[in-house]
Every structure is written in C-alpha cells, then in structure tokens.
Structure 1
Amino acid sequence: MAKVAATGSNLSLVLCLFVVLSCLGSKLPFKLVSLCYSFTEGQTGPGSQRQEVKGQANNETFVFCNNNTCRAIGVLGRKVNVTETWQVQVDALQQGCGLFNALMLHMMRENTMGGTVHLLLTARVCCWHEADGQFNASWNFDINERKMLHFNSITGTWTTLHPASIMLLEKRKKNTEITTFLQMTSQNHCKTWFQEFKSHWGQEVKHTDSSKAMIIIPHISVLLILLTCSLLLLLSGGSSAMTG
C-alpha cells in the first residue's frame, strides 16, 4: 500500500508541475490602453518644411501621414487598413493637417513667438479609459518643443502653460473650424476609433520592444493551482506516512 500511495503522490506532483508550467508559459492578451495622434507642422530650419501625422496605439505607431499620404504601419495598421474606419480616420487626419498648417503659417506671419524665425507646432490628442471606466481625452499643444496649451475634453477647460500660449489660444477661438475639429476629434472620433481598433489589438500585435513581447504574466489561477498542488502533496504525504 505504501508503494501505491507513493506512486499516487508522484503522479500528482507531475500533473501539478505540468499544469503550472503550461500556465506560466502562456501570455495574457495585450490590452489597448491609449490611442494618440500627433500633428506636426512648421519649419525645423531654413527651407526645411515639416508636415506629418503619427497615430499610435499604446505608444506604437500604426499610421503615418506625410504630404497628404497616409500609410499603415505594423500588424495593427495592416488589420485596420481594410476597415471602413480607416478611411474615415485618414480623412480626419488630413483635415487636421490643413487646419494646423494654416494656423502655423498665420503665426509665422505675425511672428507671435517673440522673434523666433522657425516655428514647429505639435498638436497631440490622446484618448483612454479611466480606472472607473469613464472615457477621457485631451489635447496638448507644443511650439518648438515648449508646452503651450492643454485641453481637457471632459471638463472643456483650457490650461495655458506658457505666456505665448495666450496668442495661440486666441487664434484658436477665432478659428471656428479648428475649434470644431478639436471637439469632434477628442469627443467623438477618438472614442469611435478606440472602440474599433480595440477589437483588432491582441496577442498577434508584435511589439517593437522585444522585452515587452516576452513578458510572462502569471494568472491568478496559477497561484490557486500551486495552492491546490501543495494541499494534494501534503495529503499524499500524510497518507503515505499513515500507510507506512
């Protein structure tokens, strides 16, 4: 009987180890946390004009626009490139390029940055889910890598972060097209795109950072299995001792 009990104990140990290793070797699906779009307009030097848009999911670029041409990048980009949402997104991004380019040219003509010859405007919108499930979005505006304005789409409030941002804020108020675009993108488009692209974001998306791709996250179920195995082994050991 002692031999039978010992054999059962060994079998339990082998089965437990197999299940634990299987769980540890699996990866949890990656979750879409944030969706952001950066519009960059202006000059970086004499005769150097820059106009581009970069769309990023979890900080990974999946769409890039330059000279009114947008292309898909990476696995997620190729997946959503065939959806109807893709073209709606491209149309909106191209519209934003035109609006921000006109704003930048106007600022350059009026020299609103205190004598700075070359101006580079970056407008970035991001949307995400809060911990309580509420959807949030915001805009940030930088000029020559200096933070200027912040817009919270939930509260509808603007925060000035630099003295020169007052002029930028006033120009934004006078341009109803830009105001409409900012509100539509942060309160409507970004949320719609987020929900659409979330269904395409999963384990098949290859991260550019290999360390992220190889992260192994243990399930809470693994801990339960370990506890169960410990109890089985304890009981098996006790029964073996009694049999012996």
Structure 2
Amino acid sequence: MLQHILVRRSAPILAACMLLAAGAAHAADIRVVSSGGFSQAYKNLAPAYERASGDHLLSEWGPSMGTTRNAIPARLARGEPIDVVIMVGDALDKLMQEGRLVAGSKVILANSPIACAVRRGAAKPDISTTEGLRSAFLQANKVAYSDSASGEYIEKQLMKRLHISEQMQGKAAKIPATPVGEIIAHGEADFGCQQRSELLPVEGIDIVGLLPPEVQLMTQFSAALVPGGKEPEAGRALLRFLAAPANAGVIGATGLEPASAPMPITH
C-alpha cells in the first residue's frame, strides 16, 4: 500500500524527468496564462515541472472568452508576452484558426463537467434529474453562473432546455472574472453552477452535484503555444509534461477527467 502511494505521489516528478531528460540549454522563464477550469491542476503540477526542468513558470489567470481585460483573447489582442495558453478547447481552436496560436501545437489535457453549489450548510436541492435541477433554479432567490464556457451554455442553452428562461430573468446573473463559488460563499447568490474543477477549491460552499447526464456539457481544456513566444522549446516541453499520462491522477483529483489520449506536439 505504502509503495503504491509513493509511486502515485511521485508520478508528476517522474513524468517531468522522463519528458525533460534531454534538458534545456538554459533555464527559461515560461509565461503561462490559464483559464480557471484547469488552474488548480496546473498549480498542483507546476512545482514538479519547475524542479525537474529548472525552468520558472510565470503564471497568470484569465477566462477563455468574454470581454474582461484578463480574458485570454484580449491578452493576445494586446500582444502580451505569453508563451503558453491553457483554455477551453473550442475557444482555443478559434484562436488557432485566426492565427493567434501556433498551428499544430494544441494538446488536449482534460474534460470538465459542470457542477452546482450552495453556500456551506444550506439545504442541498436534489439535482440528479432535470426536473430537480429545474426546481433548484426556480426556487433559488439569486442564481450565479460564469461568463465563460459553462455560463454561456447555461444562459443560452440549458435554461431554454429547462423552459425557465423567462422565469430566471432578473434573478440569474452572469458573473465576470470572479469565480461563481466565491459569489455563493459571500452570500451574493444562493445557488450557482460552474466547472466542477473551479468550484472544488472554493471555501464556504457545498457542491450539490453534477448536472444530470441528459443536460450535462463536458468542456474540453487544451493548451497551445503563442506565436512569437520567447521560449518556444521550453513551452513545448511544458505542454508535453502537462499532457503526460503519468499526471492523470493529479489532474483527476481536481475534479477534471484527464484526456485518455492527448494529441502529440507537432513542430
């Protein structure tokens, strides 16, 4: 049992050592911007990568879409110095088609289900069925959802499928930049939904459960290189590390479902 635990805990370090055995000619400062859905997995993996590679990760955070200043598309449009982005796969594909990411550099890292939460200690509605989910939305005084992939789905598709679009006007709010869990924890909403991986790290909330399978949306998280990045080779090494199968356990522990067959890096 102890041996199994030691092997599991050392997996990220072993993965880094194998992937970076050739080593970089010099220590690199790699500028990374990650969206919230993968941020906890990235934070958990980053120290092992830095120890094994000698590189330094300069990390910032921003949504995959939307109009806030920190949104990844806005950062790229301003020409911020970025080597690697980690974001929702569909949004990444769009940026790559526009030539704002390096063609062929995409790696698929994980898939993320949407979950819902209430303030810690509050009654938990049963959302295991679509009717239960519909009731939870309608009975809440204030509902919060994000301005990124999960929120776009909730606002434009889920509410219509639940036939509650009109009823939710005035009491359902899209939250820019701030995690939905924090809004719930502070009492600014009594029910909210976002990527499970973004809700899990938040203190002061209880996760009710996942959206029912028939209305669930799995969001892909991927990473890619940015054209003109100062450290393209180190960036490629980081992408290989993040996508390594040995790191699946670390990624899964954050509420994500690791990609079973990550796409290879192409040069």
Q: Normalization by structure 2: what TM-score?
A: 0.26
Choose between structure 1 and 2: higher helix proportion.
1
Which protein has the larger Cα radius of gyration, Structure 1 or Structure 2?
A: 1
Choose between structure 1 and 2: higher strand proportion.
1
Kindly indicate whether structure 1 or structure 2 has the higher relative contact order, using CA contacts under 8 Å at least 6 residues apart. Answer: 2
Q: Normalization by structure 1: what TM-score?
A: 0.28
